[in-house]
Amino acid sequence: MSNNKIIFLHIPKAGGSTFRRILQEHYSPDRIYEISRVSMQKSIDEFINLNPARRKEIFVLMGHMDFGLHKYLEGPAKYITMVRKPSSRVVSNYHFIKRSPYHPYYDQIVNNNLTLKDYVESGMNANINNGMVKNIAGVKTIKPGEEDKVLALAKENIQKYFNFVGLMEKFDESLLLLKLELEWKGQPNYFKRKVSNKKIELTKEERQAIIEKNALDQDFYDWAEQRFEALCQKNQTYLTNELPGFLEENKKQKADTSFDTIYQKYKFPIQLIAKKIIPIKLIKKIWPV
C-alpha cells in the first residue's frame, strides 16, 4: 500500500461533496484536515501555520484549494480530484447560487435578475472562467497570451502530482477505480439523492458564452476524459465484475441524517428567513454558504 498522503483538490460543482464524505468514512478524523468552505483563505493560512506535531498527523488534506499545498505536508503526497464538463459545471454553479441566499453572488444575480448568460459574461465569479485549469495549475488569474502556458502547466501537474482524476459524468466508475488505486478494503458506497431528471436546455447564446469563458477548461476536460477512458479500458474486467453489485448496493444506502446534510436539504428557506433577522457576517460563521 502506498505511503503517499492524499490531497483531495475539490473543484466546485464537480461531485466533491459526496466524494468528501466517502473519504471521511475511510480515514479517521484525526488523520484528516479539511479546508473550510466558509473561510477558505483563512483556513489555508491556518493549515500552512500548523504546529509540526499536528502536521505530522495529517494523512488526508481536502477541500476547495488551488494546487500547491503539498509543499506543507510532511512526507510524500499525491493529489486526487474530480472534473466535470465545463458547461454542466457552470450551469450547476448558477442554479446553486440562486438557491443559496447567503452566497456572495446571490443578491447580484437575483436582485438584478441576471440570466445565465449575464452571469457568465459578468466575470463576477472567476471560478466559472476556466476555473478547473486555474485550480490545477495553481494560479489565480491567466494573463492574456499565457493561456497555452497555463493549460500545459495544469496537464503537467496532473501527470506529475496526481494519482487519480475522476469524471463526475462517470461517478460510479470513478469511485471504483479510486478504490483500486488507494487499495481500500471497503466499498465506497454512497446515498444517491433524488435529483430532477429534467435536462436544462441551453440557448445558443448561453452555450457560446460558456464556451468563450471556458475554452481552456474544455480542452483540459477532453484530455482528462481520454485519460479516464484509457484507465477504464485497462481495468475493464474489474469494472465489469464490480459495477453491477456496486450500483445495487448504493440503492440500499440510507440518507445521511447529520445536521449539515439536513441543513443542505432545507437551506434555501432557512437562509431566506435567517437573512431577514441575522447579520450576514454572523450567519457565515454558523452555516456554510
Q: Please answer whether residues 73 and 55 qualify as being in contact, where contact means their C-beta atoms are separated by less than 8 angstroms.
A: yes
Q: Give domain status of residue 284, yes or no.
A: no
Q: What are 167's three cell numbers?
A: 469524471
Q: Which grid cell is 45?
A: 493560512
**Nearest by Cα to 161 from 21, 67, 278, 37:** 67
Domain assignment present for residue 28? The answer is yes
| Count of structural domains within the chain | 1
The pTM for the full model equals 0.86
Give the length of the chain: 289
- In the prediction, which pLDDT does 288 show? 45
Does residue 42 sit within a domain?
yes
pLDDT under 50: residue ranges of the chain? 1, 195-197, 257, 259, 263, 286-289
H/E element, 237: helix 236-251
The closest alpha carbon to 164, from 176, 152, 181, belongs to 181
3-state secondary structure of 165: strand
At residue 269, the pLDDT reads 61
Rg (CA), the chain: 19
| Position 45 in a domain | yes
Residue 244 lies in a domain: yes
φ and ψ at residue 32, rounded to 5 degrees: -110, 140
Whether 14 is covered by a domain: the verdict is: yes
For residue 103, being part of any structural domain is answered with no
Classify residue 207: in a domain, yes or no: no
How far apart CA 254 and CA 119 sit, in angstroms, is 36
CATH number of the domain within which 57 lies: 3.40.50.300
Please tell me what DSSP assigns to residue 30: G
- How far lies 91's CA from each of 98, 120, 184, 272, 281, in Å? 11, 9, 33, 22, 27
User: What domain range includes position 240?
Assistant: 5-83+129-187+213-253
Q: Name the residue type at position 58.
A: I
